[in-house]
Structure 1
Amino acid sequence: MLVLLRSLKRCLPTFPNSLTDRVTHVIELVLKRNEERGRPWWVNGHNIGRFWSLVAPKNGCQETCDYRGAYNENKCAKKLWKTDPEIVSSCLKRYHVPRSWLKSSDNLLVIFEETGGNPLGISVNLHYTRTICGSVSESDYPPLHRWTRQSSIHGRTSISNTTPEMQLRCDDRHVISDIVFASYGTTLGSCQHFSTGQCHADSSLSVVSNVSS
């Protein structure tokens, strides 16, 4: 349904029930923007930001930004536009909707559009996590479950085991089917783009594969 409101267009499509029933169990819902030029979006009353695909590069964005790791105010702070700072990057093409926002039926997407656009260009897709990865260093802190507070008065804490730990697991109802990379040493790169460094244990992959099985 398309409702005209002064110069704004309010689009009120609902997600197919068959999709959301599956999403609430094992997968994520992805909203992909093609023709929609964008302004604020809401999913079941939750604001997911502003999108300006109208000014996005036609061939896509060349620069990448990785939000993972410790947060700091300069991370991904480079502006690709000179306009309202509340606007989400014009290069963003997909939005993963948190499963906690979804209902079993009658999910509602609301869009306010000022510059024109075709809401039929918005597609609803299901996303499966196909690859998981991570890294841990000997200098990293141990996981939180190993930290204990001995004194509630003085606030003293102790660590039962200082060994760092990394755990990888698939989404519900999925299992790890293959391990394609493992390296104990000075690994280079980032997730899904790892490579061995100058120091590398040749048996890393076989050891990790045996543990996972």
Structure 2
Amino acid sequence: MTKWKWSYKIGTKGEALSVHTLAGSSTVEWKEGSLVAKKQPLTWYKSTFDSPTGNEPLALDMNTMGKGQMWINGQNIGRHWPAYTARGKCERCSYAGTFTEKKCLSNCGEASQRWYHVPRSWLKPTNNLVIVLEEWGGEPNGISLVKRTAK
């Protein structure tokens, strides 16, 4: 997917103003440009995108963000928290012997949450609105909509 053009709004009033909806996002002044706020806590980000072709499942890749919530066309996708990483020490896996919960750990140090399902039924052909509330601080230019396929 191509890079999205982001604008932002700082502060905690976004929820009360319903900036996650098309109507609410139109009532506030968003700052735009190449100097979009990055790694700033309590920041709202806004962008638009066109629906990708095909019928593969879609997911929002939030790996560059910290913690918060996201909406597409006013629908809540969920809370994101990719800054929280899986703990533990990954070692060579062996199923021999007694089972313990720490045996055969995988993805140690990786984000415990990264991809968030986006139902195609929520999308319009063009001008889909994505809103992200970032609580900790993240890099919105790394957010992308990706096609997912089963292996």
**What TM-score, normalized by structure 2, do the two folds share?**
0.55
Q: Which has the larger radius of gyration?
A: 1
SS at the partner of 1:100? Answer: helix
Counterpart amino acid of residue 141 in structure 2: L
Structure 2 equivalent of residue 13 of structure 1: 47
Per-residue deviation, 1:58: 7.3
**Gaps spanning 5+ residues in structure 2: where?**
1-6, 13-40, 91-110
Judge conservation of contact 2:62–2:80 (CA < 8 Å) in 1. no
SS at the partner of 1:108? Answer: strand
- Describe how 1:91-102 pairs up with structure 2 within 5 A: 91-102=112-123
- Describe how 1:1-213 pairs up with structure 2 within 5 A: 1-6=7-12, 8-15=42-49, 17=50, 20-23=51-54, 26-57=55-86, 91-129=112-150
Higher relative contact order (CA 8 A, sep 6+): 2
**Gaps spanning 5+ residues in structure 1: where?**
62-89, 132-213
SS at the partner of 1:92? Answer: coil
Q: Distance in 2 between matches of 1:34 and 1:99?
A: 21
Per-residue deviation, 1:21: 4.7
Q: Distance in 2 between matches of 1:58 and 1:106?
A: 39
Q: Distance in 1 between matches of 2:85 and 2:73?
A: 26
Per-residue deviation, 1:100: 0.7
Query: Which structure has greater helix proportion?
Result: 1
Q: Distance in 2 between matches of 1:21 and 1:125?
A: 9
- Aligned pairs, how many? 97
Query: Which structure has greater strand proportion?
Result: 2
**What TM-score, normalized by structure 1, do the two folds share?**
0.40
Counterpart amino acid of residue 99 in structure 1: R
Q: Distance in 2 between matches of 1:27 and 1:52?
A: 25
